[in-house]
Amino acid sequence: MKKIKLGNVIVYLFLIFWLLVTLIPLLWVFENSFKSSEEILLNGIALPKGLNFANYQSIFSYPDVNMLRAFFNSFLISGGVVVGVICIGGLAAFGLGRFDSWIGKVVDAFMVACLLVPSFATMIPNFVTVNKLPIKETYFAVIVPQVAGNLCFAIMLLSSYMRSLPNELDEAAIIDGAGPFKVLKNITIPLTKPMFATVGIMVFIWSYNDLVTSLVYVSNQKLKPVCVILTMVSNMHGTDYGAMMAAIFITVIPVLILYICSQEMVIKGLTAGAVKG
Amino acid sequence: MALKGKKYVWICIIPAMLLIAMFLVYPLIKTVIYSFSSWYNFSPKSEWIGLENYKRLLSDMVMPVAFRNTAILIVGVLIFQVGFALLLAIMVDSVHHGFKIFRTVYFFPIVISGTAIGLMFTLIYKYEYGLLNYIITLFGYDKQVWITPKTAIFLTLIPVLWQYIGFYFVIFLTGISKIPEDIYESAMLDGITPIKKIIYITIPMLKDVLISTIVLVVSGCFRVFDTVYVITKGGPMNSSQLLSTYMYQMAFEKYNGGYASAIAIVMIIIGVLLTIGLRKLLKADAED
């Protein structure tokens, strides 16, 4: 019995060690965001002397970067992408998952093939396309390609979920004279809500964190989301370490809040999206 | 599937199909065409040059470096994202307390953007203020410049691992929780030791999860971009260049669209071949 207990202690110690390894980088950034650069240089791990918000004030008062605007942009873009994917993807999933037709099988196979295409393979022509369309230098220049990039996966998840729904309700509704879109609105959508939430969260986090598309598709700084602005802050003000720490921490806050508030859904959403990269 | 009517199916899928055709299929074909062209500065003019871009790839000194770095990434993720994550999952499954807190904390880095993680680790590696240098001076060593051509790829690999280990840990943990309890019970009656239980029951039962995870992490190596781009931009002296960062640099910093497209095509081909090949290989292996 004693031997097993010793083993348990080692296991716990190891698990706690990894817990610390996971937490320390972010905690380090967090505590240093309340220190001046001199304080960080003097002692990089000591706790700050007090809650000093000077760094946070300075990142919001840069003359050349507008952090608040960047947050606004991020929420607008990611929100737009989620709405777009849910509406367009949901409709397509309904067509594929709830109808009895050969089209569904063909399109399903096509979707699987689409998942193998990395975003890098389409980036250059999309850049050209976006700049030719009237959406050039608007939020839609980021939103539309991101919606397209997320659609395949969302449709696959949603349609397989819709396929597993029982048929009886649909049949009853049709006998009562309901058309397909009434079935969609009154039966399929309410029943698919959990999967819509999962997909929505996955798409939101993916879009909020996506650097490449916003780096490439818009050049107007006023439209750029937090991710891109963060790299700009580091290029222009990277020597102000305290402010850098604050900037990093503040961009992480929205997703951290989302994670803390709806942890199970986030885990489900992101692991369901495992095939996506 | 009770509903009928092809007309409605088409109405439902057309918006999605249009978007996918426009931003996924068309650009893919375009990339193939560009890769056979001499095309600079995103100008309207491009000229067909056949295999020239691909010939140039063969003699490009950065390509072997990019492949070597990708190989380092693959070895790293196989050891840590698969091996280490599996070990963590087995350990957490075996303990009685703290299951939830371990899962919550281990998983959290995945919700943070690669950009923020990249910058975080840039600060950790900094000479003057960095956490690493602070720690080693505590132990009496001199401060070091961490990012050098020799170390760059390893130092950019660390944040990638740090971010993803928890993710695969959760996937394994979910897989372990689906193993039926009675299998363990009958083994316990036979007096099996915990280590033997892991080797003979847990791991074989996780075979399918393991196969798809291995395929995922390996093909994921070709998509790593953010952290490397933020920490080193592929440098110093191209030493941490990956196909993705090199392609980005060619397209959007050197404006050589044709050559960048050829790199993208190489990325797709290797990625697809590796995904299909690995799946076949591992499946065949598992069925023996």
> Which residue carries 């980036």 as its tokens?
A123
Q: Looking at CA atoms only, how far is residue B151 from chain A in angstroms?
A: 20
Nearest to A99 by CA among A213, A11, A179: A179
Domain residue spans of chain B: 49-287
A59-272: CATH superfamily: MetI-like (1.10.3720.10)
CA angle B228, B230, B236 (to 5 degrees): 65
Q: Which of A187-201, B141-155, B162-176, B178-192 has the lowest mean pLDDT?
A: B178-192
pLDDT at B222 over 90: no
pLDDT at B163 over 50: yes
pLDDT at B1 over 80: no
Q: Looking at CA atoms only, how far is residue A100 from chain B in angstroms?
A: 6
First to last CA, chain B: 38
Question: Closest chain A residue to B267 measured between Cα atoms?
Answer: A121
**Helix, strand, or coil (residue B44):** coil
Helices (H), ranges, B152-256: 152-177, 181-189, 194-197, 203-205, 207-220, 226-231, 243-252
Are B213 and B165 spatial neighbours (Cβ–Cβ below 8 Å)?
Answer: no
For residue range B16-34, what is the model confidence (pLDDT) as tens digits?
A: 999 999 999 999 999 999 9
Question: Domain B49-287 belongs to what topology?
Answer: MetI-like fold (1.10.3720)
C-alpha A105/C-alpha A101 separation (Å) is 8
- Residue B85's alpha-carbon distances to B61, B166, B184, B277, in angstroms, are 35, 7, 22, 24
B116 and A104: CB-CB below 8 Å? no
Please list every residue in chain A whose beta carbon sits closer than 8 Å to the beta carbon of residue B129.
37, 40-41, 44, 241
For residue B102, which amino acid is it? Answer: F
Q: Out of B19, B124, B247, whose CB is closest to A25?
A: B124
The pLDDT averaged over each successive group of 10 residues in chain A (277 residues) is 68 91 90 84 77 84 84 94 96 89 84 83 89 89 92 90 87 84 87 91 90 86 88 81 88 91 85 60
> Which residue carries 């990142």 as its tokens?
A59
Question: Both tokens of residue B183?
Answer: 């299998």
B167 and A270: CB-CB below 8 Å? yes
C-alpha B200/C-alpha A47 separation (Å) is 48
Q: Looking at CA atoms only, how far is residue A249 from chain B in angstroms?
A: 8
The model carries a pTM of 0.88
**Helix, strand, or coil (residue B190):** coil
State residue A193 phi and psi, 5-degree precision.
-50, -45
Number of residues that make up chain A: 277
How many CA atoms lie less than 13 Å away from A55 in the CB half-sphere?
Answer: 31
Q: What is the pLDDT of chain B when averaged over all its residues?
A: 87
B259 vs A: CB within 8 A: no
For residue range B40-66, what is the model confidence (pLDDT) as tens digits?
A: 888 888 888 888 889 988 988 899 999
Domain residue spans of chain A: 2-51, 59-272
- Residue A12's alpha-carbon distances to B23, B38, B159, B167, in angstroms, are 49, 59, 24, 20
